[in-house]
Structure 1
Amino acid sequence: MAEVTETTVDEVMAELAALEDPRVREVNARHGDDHGVNLGKLRGIAKRLKTQQDLALRLWQTEDTAARLLALLVCRPKAFGREELDVMVRQARTPKVQDWLVNYVVKKCPHAEDLRVAWSADPDPVVASAGWALTTERVAKKPEGLDLAGLLDVIEAQMKDAPERLQWAMNHCLAQIGIEHPGHRARAIDIGERLEVLKDYPTPPNCTSPFAPAWITEMVRRQHDR
């Protein structure tokens, strides 16, 4: 494959700049994301570029949020080392970049479990939230070996006062335990009811509330209706 040059990065950055939409940026800003590129158009660029690990690394180094999102779409997940991913998660401060890094890259690499354990206990709440996101994935898909009761103990003790991003991640894990594991469902609902995290979160019509007891009850109902 031909070597990727800085000119190629400059061309991609110019293309992203041309897609900047103030209205998109305004909506994203409400969720803590600092870019104004429509994600459908971003995916279109990624589809055209295909997988280019060298380009992905250079786009990440720009520190631009839209460029980093594109980098995560054109990278080769299994090409990253454990330490590289640890550095990247500490650099990924916006919610969407962290979300895509965890879901599109870390989950597909051989270091996912090691990083899950390390990040979950990290003193940085943003890094810890990435660890909890990986734990939620395991709760749903590979729960063997997880101490679900122990996870509930930690959530019960720490979720109420956790910083926002970490609180959201713990709450998702709480709901997933209640949804997927009937033996822990009653306790998961009880923890949610007592802590009242996200109880009053504004939820649009026809959307499921992120309040764990409501979330668990609705998803279990849907399972029974299938």
Structure 2
Amino acid sequence: MAELAGLEDPRTRKVNEKHGDDHGVNLGKLRALAKRLKTRHDLACALWETGDTAARLLATLICRPKAFGRDELDAMVREARTPKAHDWFVNYVVKKNPHAEEARLSWTADPDPAVAAAGWALTAERVVKRPDDLDLPGLLDVIEAEMKDAPDRLQWQMNCCLAQIGIENPEHRARAIGIGERLQVLKDYPTSPGCTSPFAPVWITELVRRRQQK
């Protein structure tokens, strides 16, 4: 904790706070620290319990993702309230855990929008990597009905799922693009030059174009 405190930079904190993250540690330096520590699951658990965002980010990098039980995952996803801690926990821990599918099914319809966002992030990954037995038309039904009015973090993950369905499945592409055009979610999201807009119709069209050129 003392070493993390020594990495705190007021300028980095100011930037991070604009995105809802309450820490000032450069992520490159945090990753370097994790590389030096290597896997230390007990330390990761202790760091998580501090409640400090930088400590929790470090914990996701040095833990053993498969060591967490189902109940632990559920408790931790509800504790990971800042966007970066939530994102890293889902991507670096839950997605590598044997209970990921069980968690996905439970979380997607959770009344807590942050937990539901984690469920939709796991669903978007399944659309890409393991789409067998997913009800894609049913997912599109839910997205069409609920994404427009969803809280920001949940809306973002539902939109990612919408885009991945359109990118990966030609038979659902027209409907996915149509849903995006009707809902207009993230249409005006600021996008840096050279980056693809998260607006689903643009995102889908651009990624499909790139694949066709290969």
SS in structure 1 at match of 2:111: coil
2:160 equivalent in structure 1: 172
- Within 2, Cα distance between the matches of 1:69 and 1:98? 9
2:36 equivalent in structure 1: 48
What's the offset of the Cα at 1:110? 0.6
1:17 equivalenced with 2:10 (yes/no): no
- Within 2, Cα distance between the matches of 1:170 and 1:76? 28
How do 1:211-226 residues align onto structure 2 when only pairs under 5 Å count?
A: 211-226=199-214
What's the offset of the Cα at 1:32? 1.1
- Within 2, Cα distance between the matches of 1:23 and 1:79? 36
1:192 equivalenced with 2:188 (yes/no): no
Q: Deviations over 1:21-47 (max 9, x none)?
A: 111111111211111101110011111
Q: After the TM superposition, which parts of structure 1 deviate over 3 Å for at least 4 consecutive aligned residues?
A: none
- Within 2, Cα distance between the matches of 1:60 and 1:213? 38
- Within 1, Cα distance between the matches of 2:192 and 2:38? 36
- Within 2, Cα distance between the matches of 1:175 and 1:25? 32
CA RMSD of aligned residues (A): 0.6
- Work out which of the two has the higher radius of gyration on C-alpha atoms and give 1 or 2: 1
Q: Deviations over 1:30-85 (max 9, x none)?
A: 21111110111001111111111110010001000000000110100111000001
Letter in 2 for 1:103: N
1:111 equivalenced with 2:80 (yes/no): no
Q: What is the aligned-residue identity percentage?
A: 76
Q: Which of residues 106, 119, 124 in structure 1 aligns to 2:112?
A: 124
1:31 equivalenced with 2:15 (yes/no): no
Q: Which of residues 25, 43, 47 in structure 2 aligns to 1:59?
A: 47
TM-score by length of 2: 0.99
Q: Which of residues 163, 172, 175 in structure 1 aligns to 2:151?
A: 163
- Within 1, Cα distance between the matches of 2:162 and 2:22? 29
1:206 equivalenced with 2:194 (yes/no): yes
Structure 1: where are the runs of 5+ without partners? 1-12
1:71 equivalent in structure 2: 59
TM-score by length of 1: 0.94
2:85 equivalent in structure 1: 97
- Within 2, Cα distance between the matches of 1:209 and 1:22? 30
What's the offset of the Cα at 1:102? 0.7
- Within 1, Cα distance between the matches of 2:109 and 2:83? 19
- Within 2, Cα distance between the matches of 1:199 and 1:43? 33
- Within 2, Cα distance between the matches of 1:89 and 1:80? 12
What's the offset of the Cα at 1:203? 1.1
What's the offset of the Cα at 1:138? 0.1
2:123 equivalent in structure 1: 135
- Within 2, Cα distance between the matches of 1:55 and 1:159? 38
Q: Which of residues 61, 65, 70 in structure 2 aligns to 1:82?
A: 70
**Aligned pair count?**
214
- Within 2, Cα distance between the matches of 1:137 and 1:157? 21
